[in-house]
Structure 1
Amino acid sequence: MQNIIATLLEAQIEAFSKEFTDTSRNVFYDDTEKKLIHAGEFGMLREACVRELLTNFLPGIYGVSHGYVIGQNSEISHQCDLIIYHRNYTPYLHTPEGQRFFPVESVIAVGEIKSKVDGTVLDDALGKLTRIKLMRDAITDAAIARVRPHSDRKYDPVNNIRDQLVTFVICEEYSCSNAVLSERIKKSWSGSTPRHRVNLITAIKGGTCTYKDSNNKSWMYPVEPPASDEIPVRLVTPKPDSIGHLALFFRYLLLLVEDTTVLYPELTRHLRDLLSYEAEDLE
């Protein structure tokens, strides 16, 4: 019997792949000059392709946008290409121009969208994503939202990998060797530990980077409980005329989103900074 859901998902992923790799380049590539025109709009179109697919792919309680992540101590991230957040616990904080700001507590995942990825591009992207994971470590006052099992436990991003937010990279293709991919993923940035490393990387014309657990299976976390040491990097490549690696990426991303701990945003900490006033007792 035909698997209807699999057929529909395959059609969506294939349409996304074509738009990301072909449509965007056909619109913004000058055949005469042999170069991209309007590189900014080219990148924005690709980011919009990913957001549209994830909006259709993820359950409605999750929002997909772009903007900035704000830490508890007012740290601010770089401008993130893609942010997945929990709609029920995310206040709508924005500028008049529509730039959005997301409290790190209710952010679930952050992604970087790239064209061709080499060692330098990967270093830059993974460094930015690591700094956002470090923002979760800096949370000192957190209450787990009651949208996950065992929400009455203590928030512990050091020892519970599900208390770390998810990071990922989507690109068109890798322009570096597999050895460089592995080296850069395992590299430590600014003294960070393995738990701060990227969860998933996928190239539409390449493969999906995951990790390998002790049972020789693909794993979407850079550590395997209860250990905190790094585990090997694995590259999953598709069979000919297959999108298996992309299906794996989106399957694992959905599992990660569903597993990640959501926290109540601690807005009162920020409101205290506004409390500058004088009081007078009324008779």
Structure 2
Amino acid sequence: MNPIIEKLAREHAASFRRNFLELSRDLFENGTTGKLYHPGEFGGYRERLLKRMLLSFLPSHFACSEGFVIGHTSKVDPASRSTQCDVIVYDENETPKLETGDLRRFFPVETVYGVGEIKSVVEAKRFEETLDKLSKVKRMRVDPPPIVYPTKPTHMVMQFFQLHQAFVDEGFDRRAAARMAYDVFEHPAQNIVTFLVCERIEFNGGDNLSSLMKRIVSASPGGDEQFAMRHNMILSIEDGYQSYFHGHGIPTTYPRVLNEKLGMSAATGVRIVDANDRNDHIIAFLGDIASALGNAMIFPFNVSSYINVEATNIGW
């Protein structure tokens, strides 16, 4: 790592940890009773801390907000509308300003890079519920968007068109080839990046982050496609950081990737960076999420696909 970038990253990590754990409580907690003056403001402050840190490591066309993710099939499919999301990372230039009178924002799934949940102390049961919520957000991208050709990032757009051309060369027409090139199970960069950030996890018995994740993964039903819909990363300030690895310990943010040795996509292993005073777990999270969001594809927003219009066609 470049020493200047590393120093800046570690300063951001230390500041984030200090403010998330200490300053937030100093501002919003009653020192006598231990109760929060205003839980909503306390949570909102922590969300702003994370958004500010994320945007410090992302290009200017990235933006963060809270709100709802919506899909073009939401009128007929309730699964195409998310519940309230704490952090939505979206493209500032590609996303329409959709909001209600009380300024709650709605973000089309096509222009969303990532979705995150921010928690304080997470009980084991609530922990799994949160991961399930993130999985449901990811599933909103399973159906192809109305326009399947991505607009960003440039290097991933090129990769998509190379794959598209390979299908054309095999004899498929261009429309069919485009639909075949879009596959969030085989190409995880086409999907939304999902993550959880919390203060700490309330483990059962002698559990820690590593044993909890191993148990959750081993107990999960379904095959590789279900595994592909898992969260990308978890950061617990006091416990550590969780992502994945493949091959011979190669780090990845994706729960399912192409295994060169097998010649096919396969589930990856769980990677843990324990919490320490150097904030290596926060540094790992910062590097991974910046990389994952930087590789995540977005697609054109097509307003007509979200609106039903009755019309009469007259032939001649």
Q: Does residue 1:209 correspond to 2:252, yes or no?
A: no
Q: What runs of 5+ residues in structure 2 fail to find an aligned partner? A: 75-79, 165-180
**How many Å separate the matches in 2 of 1:224 and 1:103?**
26
SS at match of 1:172: strand
Match of 1:8 in 2: 8
Per-residue CA deviation, residues 189-227 of structure 1 (Å, 9 max, x unaligned), is 799611000110011112101112121133211112144
Offset of residue 140 of structure 1: 5.0
SS at match of 1:225: strand
Residues 111-126 of structure 1 aligned to structure 2 (within 5 Å)? 111-126=116-131
Offset of residue 181 of structure 1: 3.2
- Quick one: which of 162, 181, 195 aligns to 2:189? 162
Q: Does residue 1:58 correspond to 2:58, yes or no?
A: yes
**How many Å separate the matches in 2 of 1:187 and 1:68?**
30
Offset of residue 8 of structure 1: 2.0
After superposition, the Cα gap between the structure-2 partners of 1:157 and 1:201, relative to the gap in structure 1 and judged at 3 Å, is same
After superposition, the Cα gap between the structure-2 partners of 1:189 and 1:148, relative to the gap in structure 1 and judged at 3 Å, is farther
Offset of residue 278 of structure 1: 8.6
* 8 Å contact from structure 1 (residues 55, 63) kept in 2: yes
Q: Does residue 1:182 correspond to 2:188, yes or no?
A: no
Match of 1:196 in 2: 229
After superposition, the Cα gap between the structure-2 partners of 1:77 and 1:231, relative to the gap in structure 1 and judged at 3 Å, is same
Q: Does residue 1:268 correspond to 2:301, yes or no?
A: no
Residues paired across the two proteins, number: 276
Match of 1:17 in 2: 17
Question: TM-score if structure 2 supplies the norm length?
Answer: 0.80
* 8 Å contact from structure 1 (residues 130, 197) kept in 2: yes
Match of 1:98 in 2: 103
SS at match of 1:48: helix
SS at match of 1:101: strand
Q: Does residue 1:80 correspond to 2:85, yes or no?
A: yes
* 8 Å contact from structure 1 (residues 144, 155) kept in 2: no
Offset of residue 13 of structure 1: 1.7
- Quick one: which of 153, 163, 167 aligns to 1:147? 153
Q: Does residue 1:29 correspond to 2:29, yes or no?
A: yes
> Please, which moves more after superposition, 4-13 or 187-196?
187-196
Offset of residue 277 of structure 1: 7.1
* 8 Å contact from structure 1 (residues 70, 77) kept in 2: yes
Q: What runs of 5+ residues in structure 1 fail to find an aligned partner? A: none
Q: Percent identity at matched positions? A: 31
> Please, which moves more after superposition, 112-121 or 124-133?
112-121
> Please, which moves more after superposition, 134-143 or 145-154?
145-154
Per-residue CA deviation, residues 115-152 of structure 1 (Å, 9 max, x unaligned), is 11232121111111110111000235322115333243
- Quick one: which of 253, 258, 261 aligns to 2:289? 253
**How many Å separate the matches in 2 of 1:128 and 1:29?**
28
Aligned-residue CA RMSD in angstroms?
2.3
SS at match of 2:256: coil
**How many Å separate the matches in 2 of 1:158 and 1:171?**
27
* 8 Å contact from structure 1 (residues 194, 228) kept in 2: no
**How many Å separate the matches in 2 of 1:37 and 1:164?**
39
The one-letter amino acid of 1:126's match is: L
The one-letter amino acid of 2:183's match is: D
**How many Å separate the matches in 1 of 2:61 and 2:218?**
33
Match of 2:114 in 1: 109
* 8 Å contact from structure 1 (residues 119, 184) kept in 2: no
The one-letter amino acid of 2:41's match is: E
> Please, which moves more after superposition, 132-141 or 225-234?
225-234
SS at match of 2:96: coil
Match of 1:222 in 2: 255
* 8 Å contact from structure 2 (residues 110, 145) kept in 1: no
Per-residue CA deviation, residues 157-203 of structure 1 (Å, 9 max, x unaligned), is 12111111110001111221232233235654799611000110011
**How many Å separate the matches in 1 of 2:185 and 2:53?**
32
* 8 Å contact from structure 2 (residues 258, 266) kept in 1: no
Question: TM-score if structure 1 supplies the norm length?
Answer: 0.89
